[in-house]
Amino acid sequence: MHKPQKTVSLLLTVLLVGAALSGCSGSGDKNDGEASQGASPSASAKPSESASASPEASGSASPSGLDTSKHVELQFYMLGDAPKDLGIIQAEINKMAESELNATVKFNYTSWTDWDQKYKLLLSSGQPIDLIFTADWTQYQAYAKKGAFLPLDELLPKASPKLQAFVPQDMWDAVKIDGKIYTVPATFKEYVTNGFVYREDLREKYNLPVPKDIASFEAYLDGIKKNEPDMQPLSMNSDVKTNLMDVFREINDDTVGGPLPYGIGIKYNKPTEVYSYWGSDEMKADLTVIQRWQQKGFFAKNVLNVKDTMQAPIVSGKAAAMLGDNPNRFNDTQLKMQSSHPDWKLGYYPFPLTRGFATPVHPIHNGFAIPKSSKNPERALAFYEKMVTDKRYNQLTQYGIEGKNYTVKDGYYKMIGDSTSNGFGREGMNGWAWRNPEFMLFDKSFDGVKEIFAELDKIQKPDIFTGFAEDYTPYQAERAALEQVEKQYFYPLYAGLVKNVDEGMKTAMDKAKQAGLEKVQEGYKKQWLEYTAANGIQ
């Protein structure tokens, strides 16, 4: 999903230095400034501290000047699926929020099925929403530029001064759109670039190659198909653009950030050369491989109707591999899988090691904004301050109830039961955006993620894309039409379901051009070149 930063200088400030941010990961995606956030990923709070911190120690007093005389219920929106024990956690949170802010909160989830359409509807319908998740992959920049969120610059010092001081200034600067702050950035720093995820125990058992590129990954899938005929070699769902096409391009492609919209291509080392990936020989070569995978039966023929998450079939043993996932979410999937099947092993190979460089996550990658429809912006920001800076709120919403959902031993988090019996797994609320490195708990397997981050540190380059904020007003109608064309004509190509790739591409391109593709691409290109010129990106 994507991600990330403003100018090159700002991007450099969020390089992986000391607290790991997590995202889009089944664990989340954030960035962290070591100087301000300090705690290393291995540092954990003592078990006794998580629930017993006094209101005074946790800073539970309301900010001075905040009017809490009227009781309010805050509407809080997250992406994904709600954990089974959400009601229990919400009730515990509301006991504290009622007492300290004269407020209660309703945690709402979109589910992962067609989340993007639901997200768009939430922000366009005028429905009262007080807090909503933002990221580069949810188009934070574009929504902010279009006025979907309230600016926070004047609200922060009044409603959440502790939160304002907690987030490093360079991160506040990095999430600004047209000079204004519209989201509270996460401060946990990580890499969220993709990597091959595969059953390592099966690889060892059948002497299959380690997936390092498309060829070796295909050989691995061939081996699974041959030796485990009842297992789906590749986990895939209906979002074939995000989970198949975009990820496929990331493996060898030196793209600037991305994924890029409208079939546009831009290379990291040639950022001012903008071309159309759609309709190109490059696209044809990629689609030919994906079509071959479909014909070999690596993933389901009805993939466009599959609504499961990518990780669930891996956890249950129904599938052997994922084309790509980020290190944090890989670790979460591994933890869930091994809670039920300790003899299974999951392997991971980062794409950046094949591609030659890695970009640390940008502060934009995980955040929370206050939509313009909010009826309680000040109280919402005060509550979010609690979620980030108050240990009681933070650990309760990240890990559940200690002794019921998890334990801490020798500094490490451990889930009680397994992923099927435990109603609130680690980061069960998808609370990537309010991670606080000072309070974070990690399972022992996260030591492996730290090793991955250390390797990626050696080949890091700044993200030169995420700070770009597109204004699609001049081509909004064409953009909407193009979105429908992509789903109707390009998605079947992405899924390998079109028998003749050449004819399929021609039909899709004809429809795209009729919808206004050239106008959209030219409008985007013009803004991108203005952005690169203004920020000295060459």
271 pLDDT above the threshold of 70: yes
For residue 73, the cross-strand partners are 104
Higher pLDDT, 508 or 53: 508
Q: What is the pLDDT of residue 61?
A: 61
108 pLDDT above the threshold of 90: yes
Asked if residue 276 lies in contact with residue 263, where contact means CB atoms within 8 angstroms, the answer is yes
Higher pLDDT, 275 or 56: 275
Report the distance separating Cα 74 and Cα 90, nearest Å. 12
CB within 8 Å of 129: residues ≥ 6 apart: 75, 77, 122, 123, 371, 373, 374
CB within 8 Å of 336: residues ≥ 6 apart: 26, 311, 315, 418, 419, 425
Query: How much is the average pLDDT of 405-418?
Result: 94
Q: What is the pLDDT of residues 124-165, one digit of tens each?
A: 999 999 999 999 989 999 999 999 999 999 999 999 999 999
Token pair recorded at residue 448: 């492996």
Whether the link from the prior residue into 342 is cis, omega within 30° of 0, is: no
Report the distance separating Cα 181 and Cα 518, nearest Å. 32
196 pLDDT above the threshold of 50: yes
Higher pLDDT, 428 or 467: 428
CB atoms within 10 A of CB 302: 10
Q: What is the pLDDT of residues 212-268, one digit of tens each?
A: 999 999 999 999 999 999 999 999 999 999 999 999 998 877 766 668 899 999 998
Q: What is the pLDDT of residues 3-41, one digit of tens each?
A: 333 333 333 333 333 333 334 433 333 333 322 222 333
Residue 265 phi/psi, 5-degree rounding, is -125, 135
Percent with pLDDT over 70 in the chain: 87
Q: What is the pLDDT of residues 286-305, one digit of tens each?
A: 999 999 999 999 999 999 99
Higher pLDDT, 145 or 56: 145
pTM, two decimal places: 0.75
Concatenating the DSSP letter of every residue in 383-442 gives: HHHHHHH-HHHHHHHHH--BTTTEEEETTEEEESS-TTT-SS-TTTT--GGG--TTT---
DSSP state of 149: B
Q: What is the pLDDT of residue 8?
A: 33
- State the burial class of residue 48 (Cβ atoms within 10 Å of its Cβ: 0-12, 13-18, 19+): exposed
Query: How much is the average pLDDT of 279-292?
Result: 97
Q: What angle do CA 131, 136, 140 make, to 5 degrees?
A: 45
Domain extents for the chain? 8-57+67-191+362-457, 192-357+471-538
Query: How much is the average pLDDT of 52-67?
Result: 56
54 pLDDT above the threshold of 50: no
Cα dihedral sign, 506-512-515-516: negative
Q: What is the pLDDT of residue 60?
A: 52
Note whether 8-57+67-191+362-457 and 192-357+471-538 share their fold. Answer: yes
Q: What is the mean pLDDT of the chain?
A: 88
**Which range among 19-23, 166-170, 202-206 shows the weakest confidence by mean pLDDT?**
19-23
> Which CATH number is associated with domain 192-357+471-538?
3.40.190.10
Q: What is the pLDDT of residue 428?
A: 94
Q: What is the pLDDT of residue 64?
A: 64
Of the options 3.40.190.10, 3.40.50.1820, 3.30.700.30, 3.30.930.10, the CATH number for the domain spanning 8-57+67-191+362-457? 3.40.190.10
Which amino acid is located at 532 in the chain? Answer: T
- For 399-438, b/e burial (b = at least 16 CB within 10 A) is bbbbeebbebeeebbebbebbeebbbbbbbbbbbbbbbbb
